[in-house]
Structure 1
Amino acid sequence: MNYSININGIDVDATYSDKSIKEIFNPLLEHLTALQKEKGRRILVLLAAPPGAGKSTLVSFLQTLSEDHELLSDIQAIGMDGFHRRQEYLLSHTTIRDGQEIKMVEIKGAPVTFDLEALRKRIEMVLSGGSIGWPSYDRHLHNPVEDATVINRDIVLLEGNYLLLDEDGWRDLRDLADYTILVRADEDMLRKRLIDRKAKSGNSREKAEKFVDYSDMANVRLCLNKSLSADLELFINQDGDFCKRKP
């Protein structure tokens, strides 16, 4: 199935096979529907994946699938990118990378460049029920857009790179979740995807490659090597299709 959507200001075209829809996605949505009905409250699903894995597109597609089937509860897909620290903060604050002090903006997308405390507090607000505003991130503005979405559904699917990261502070997020999903993929495929995406944001190919190799790939390896186990683990093959893997 072909799927097109605008993600963070960038048009994205994706294709999901009938097999993955039938054997993975529909059963997942059925399970989440049953889980929510069993608990009788709003539930939170965390989907963690490395940069370039297409997680924003995937959760949007899952939301669309849920809306197209009467027997499934509607999912609300959101992302953690709205908790990027603002560009002016990243330009004026520093961190240590490889023993050197650098501006945070040079490694934008690394865990330290997110406001983890604000993310956790907003998640707790979402779990309290009711209609809650949620920020998004615009790649053309290079900044979050506050309260871009209003959360009002009973199944909330939150995606992000570090939602299952096994590091202080981040690992506590899993305790807030009712269900977790981890997506893995080949490093080389992710690098190509990231360079293409960076170029579409208005950067030259050379600048895109430099940033990806210095910043993004470190984040890719961090996600692949330091993520906690999940209730469901998926792998993206070389064709871009999804298959199951045991956690």
Structure 2
Amino acid sequence: MIRRQTVRQHSRLLALARQSADAGGRRILGIAGPPGAGKSTLAAFLADALGPSRAVQVPMDGFHLADVELRRLGLLDRKGAPETFDAHGYAALLRRLRTPSSETVYAPGFDREWEQPVAGSLPVPPDVPLVITEGNYLLLDSPEWRPVRPLLDACWWVSLDEDVRLRRLIDRHVRYGKSRAEAESWVHRSDEANARLIAPGREAADLVVELPPGEHGAGTGRAPGA
């Protein structure tokens, strides 16, 4: 396990992920960080580079509660906050992925156009050695999310220049249907509240990944809270 280093080169990150895939058995790599930092993009890069026989990306976003349930709970305007996810279900999936089995595990994904979870859409074959999971709350120190960290063999924290991160967050919300005014309001009211909440988690990460401001593709990830 790498401890408290800062890495900027994608080649070095890929080498570390390859080491995990080659270590024997099933390993789970977590990628955490604030909304819009580029977690999903980095996870996809690693999974694509290693190939489907060696790595599968399983996003935390698949455990968003559906809008119909958020509406029932009165939490629709908080979508993306910690309490709008099935944290216990996510931890249960990670436990299942860590348990040796001869069966394929089907994980939920997230539809970016509809902004809804999609059950059973991500197959994880039993012989794939590395699962890469990413999301805001992997290092959140709260009762619901605390069980997640011990289930990860390593957890990286992705950091990006704040101005770039905010601009990309706003652009993302506009791309998925909000007006620019609505996007700016959502980012400063909701996404940034979540970013402040998880900020202490950086100190608990095994590795800090600092993406340069001009990193192409960073922050183009999935759903609110990604």
TM-score by length of 1: 0.77
Paired residues of 1:166 and 1:227 also in contact (CA < 8 A): no
Q: Secondary structure at the match of 2:35?
A: coil
Offset at residue 67 of structure 1 (A): 2.4
Offset at residue 142 of structure 1 (A): 2.4
CA distance in 1, matches of 2:164, 2:195: 11
Relative to structure 1, the CA distance from residue 105 to residue 228 in structure 2 (aligned partners, 3 Å threshold; closer, same or farther) is: farther
- Gaps (5+ residues) in structure 1? 1-18, 94-102, 243-247
CA distance in 2, matches of 1:26, 1:142: 29
Match of 2:59 among 79, 84, 108: 79
1:147-158 correspondence to structure 2 within 5 Å: 147-152=120-125, 153-158=128-133
Size of the aligned set, in residue pairs, is 206
1:24-173 correspondence to structure 2 within 5 Å: 24-34=12-22, 36-37=23-24, 41-67=25-51, 74-93=54-73, 103-129=74-100, 130-152=103-125, 153-173=128-148
The residue number in structure 2 matching 1:21 is: 10
CA distance in 2, matches of 1:26, 1:227: 20
Paired residues of 1:52 and 1:191 also in contact (CA < 8 A): yes
Q: Secondary structure at the match of 2:138?
A: coil
Paired residues of 2:38 and 2:158 also in contact (CA < 8 A): no
Deviations, residues 135-174 of structure 1 (Å, cap 9, x unaligned): 0111322211001111111111111111111222312211
Structure of higher RCO (CA pairs closer than 8 Å, 6+ residues apart):
2
Relative to structure 1, the CA distance from residue 237 to residue 225 in structure 2 (aligned partners, 3 Å threshold; closer, same or farther) is: farther
CA distance in 1, matches of 2:120, 2:210: 32
Offset at residue 230 of structure 1 (A): 1.9
Relative to structure 1, the CA distance from residue 29 to residue 201 in structure 2 (aligned partners, 3 Å threshold; closer, same or farther) is: same
Question: Percent of pairs identical after alignment?
Answer: 34
RMSD over equivalenced CA pairs, Å:
2.0
Q: Secondary structure at the match of 2:204?
A: coil
CA distance in 1, matches of 2:203, 2:65: 24
Q: Secondary structure at the match of 1:150?
A: strand
The residue number in structure 2 matching 1:14 is: none
Deviations, residues 150-209 of structure 1 (Å, cap 9, x unaligned): 111111111111111122231221111112211122332221111000000011111111
